[in-house]
Structure 1
Amino acid sequence: MRENKSAVLNRFFSRNTFRDIIDSTDDEIYKSVILRYVKNPENKKNVELISEIYTELKKNYRNEYYYKNTLLNKLLLGVHSINTTVALTEIPISKSKADFVLINGKAIAYEIKTELDNLDRLENQINDYYKAFDHVSVITCKENLALLENKLEIINKPIGIYVLQNNGSLSIIQKPLKYSDSLDKNIIFKILRKSEYESIIMQVYGELPQVTQFKYYSECLNLFLKVDLDKVYELFIAQLKKRTKVEKELYQNVPYELKFLTYFMDLKEADYSRLNSFLYNQFGGM
C-alpha cells in the first residue's frame, strides 16, 4: 500500500504530469491522485486541489520533491534572489547525481536524505560532489540528524547540515566551508556540455582545436586540463550559472507548491498562460 502511495504521489509532482496539463489540461495521474485524496474535488479550483495534495506530502509523505521544493523556496527565493542566484538539479558527478545545486557567489551542492532514505551511499555521494564543487551540504529530517552527524564525522570534511523541521522551516545546524582539495578537472569537464567547454576553451585560448572530429573531444579535454584549477573552477561555475532561464515576472505568480517543478520546465509565456488558466479552473476529472 505504501509503495503504491509513494509511486502515485511521486508521479503527481513531476514534469511529465504538468507538461501534459500545460499541453492538454488532461492527465490520468493528476486525476487519479485528486480523486483518491480529495473529497468533493469538483467544487474546487485546481490550485486548491494541488495545495491539498502538497499538504498530504507535508503531513504524511515528505518525499524528495517536498524537500527540493522547500529548498528552492527557502533558499533561492527566500534567502537569495532569482535575479542573482541559479538553481540546478540532478547534476551527474562521477557515479552520483547532486540533488540540488545553488549558485550565487559560490556554488553549493546539496544531498537530500528524506525520512524515506537511508544513509548507506552518503559517503560516496559526498566524496563525488567534492570532485566538482567546493561547498557541500546535506539536508535531512531531525530524526536522521544524530546518525547523519556520526556519518559526517567519519567523512571529516566541512560539510553543511540543514534540517527540514516538521513545520516546514529549514534550520541550519552547520554551514558548509570551502574544501577544494578533491576538485577534479576531469570530472568537471564531463559535467560540461559541448557548448560550455568550448566557451571556456575560447576564453582561455582564443580559438578551438583545429583537428578531426574523431580527435576533437580528447583535444578539448587536453586543453582544459592544462588550465589552472582555480581558473577552471571559476569558468565552470560561470557556465553552470547560465543554464537555467526563467521568465522571472511570470514565474513569480506560480504557486508555492509548484515552484521547483516549474523552475526546471523551461516554460514560455504561452505555457505560463495555459498553466494559469488550468490552476484557476475547477477540477474537470469527474
Structure 2
Amino acid sequence: MIPWSDGILLPEFRVGRSIVDFLAVTDTLHAVEIKSDLDNTSRLDSQLHDYRKIAPLVSVMASKRVVERVLAAREFETVGLHWLDANGRVETVRDAEFSREYLDSEVLMRSLRRAEYLRVLSALGSTVPDLPNTRVFSYALAASRDLDPLIFHNAVADQLRERKPRAGRTLIARLPEPVRPAVLKLDPTRQQISSLQDWMNQEVANVYA
C-alpha cells in the first residue's frame, strides 16, 4: 500500500494550520490523511498543500468518492491515493511520488519541539548561541530559512525517529491483510491501531449502508 521500510508512525502531527492523521517517518517523511464520506472535506485541498511543505510523500486513504475528487485535481498528481472496497480491502489507485518542490524549512522547524529543532540545527552546523529564551525561537527560525529544505527535511526525519513509541502489536492481526505488511514494520500504539481499525470498520459499514 504505502512503501515504508524501517520507520515509525506519528499520529495527529501538526503542520502549519493543519494536523495530519499520521506521519510515517523513515529516511523521509510521508504524510497520510484519512477521510471518510462522513468527514468534512472542505479543507482537504489546504491540508494537502500544508502537508507537502514538510513531507516529500503525501497519501490519502479515503472513500472512493473522496479519492476520485483528489484524482481529478492535477495540482495533486503526486499524491498517493488508496480506498477501501466493500470487503475492507485497500485498493491502490496510485502510490505517492517523491516531490521536494514544496518543502519549506520554516514550516518543518515550526512542526518540531524546541529540543528537536535545536538538535537539528546543531547537526547541520547552525548551533544556536546562548540567548534569552524569548530570542531562541526567532534565531532558530532565521537559521532554518538559510538551509536547503531537502537537507533540513532529512535531518528532521532523523530527529523524529527518536520519538518512536513502544507498544504491543497484537491488534495488528485484526487489520485487513493488505495493511499488515506496512504496519508490521512500524511500532504503533494500541490506540493508533484501534483508531485505524475503527475507521476501516466504519468505511465498510458505509459501503453496505
TM-score by length of 2: 0.75
SS state at 1:242 partner:
helix
Q: Does 1:253 align with 2:170?
A: yes
**Residue of structure 2 equivalent to 1:236:** 156
Write the distance in 1 (CA, Å) between the matches of 2:147 and 2:70. 37
Write the distance in 1 (CA, Å) between the matches of 2:68 and 2:172. 34
**Residue of structure 2 equivalent to 1:104:** 26
**Residue of structure 1 equivalent to 2:130:** 210
Asked whether the equivalents of residues 70 and 76 of structure 2 are also in contact (C-alpha less than 8 Å), the reply is no
TM-score by length of 1: 0.57
Write the distance in 1 (CA, Å) between the matches of 2:54 and 2:172. 33
Asked whether the equivalents of residues 60 and 67 of structure 2 are also in contact (C-alpha less than 8 Å), the reply is no
Deviates more, 1:160-169 or 1:135-144: 135-144
Asked whether the equivalents of residues 102 and 108 of structure 1 are also in contact (C-alpha less than 8 Å), the reply is yes
**Residue of structure 2 equivalent to 1:62:** none
Write the distance in 1 (CA, Å) between the matches of 2:172 and 2:155. 34
Q: Percent identity?
A: 23
Please tell me the residue identity of whatever aligns with 1:96.
S
Write the distance in 2 (CA, Å) between the matches of 1:177 and 1:207. 33
Write the distance in 2 (CA, Å) between the matches of 1:85 and 1:118. 30
**Residue of structure 2 equivalent to 1:140:** 62
**Residue of structure 1 equivalent to 2:201:** none
- 1:185/1:144 CA distance change after superposition, 3 Å: closer
**Residue of structure 2 equivalent to 1:48:** none
Q: May I ask how many residue pairs the two structures share in their alignment?
A: 182
Please tell me the residue identity of whatever aligns with 1:242.
E
Deviation of 1:209 (Å) = 1.2
Q: Does 1:183 align with 2:111?
A: no
1:89-148 CA deviation, whole Å, 9 max, x = no partner? 111111111111212243211111112124321111110111111111111123444333
Deviation of 1:229 (Å) = 2.0
Write the distance in 1 (CA, Å) between the matches of 2:29 and 2:53. 13
Write the distance in 1 (CA, Å) between the matches of 2:130 and 2:149. 24
Q: 5 Å matches for 1:1-286?
A: 84-150=6-72, 152-153=73-74, 155-205=75-125, 207-247=127-167, 251-254=168-171, 256=173, 262=190
Alignment gaps of 5+ in structure 1: 1-73, 266-286
Asked whether the equivalents of residues 128 and 139 of structure 2 are also in contact (C-alpha less than 8 Å), the reply is no
Higher helix residue share: 1
Deviation of 1:169 (Å) = 1.5
**Residue of structure 1 equivalent to 2:179:** none
Please tell me the residue identity of whatever aligns with 2:82.
Y
Higher strand residue share: 2
Write the distance in 1 (CA, Å) between the matches of 2:172 and 2:97. 33
**Residue of structure 1 equivalent to 2:199:** none
The RMSD of aligned alpha carbons is 2.6
Write the distance in 2 (CA, Å) between the matches of 1:145 and 1:229. 29
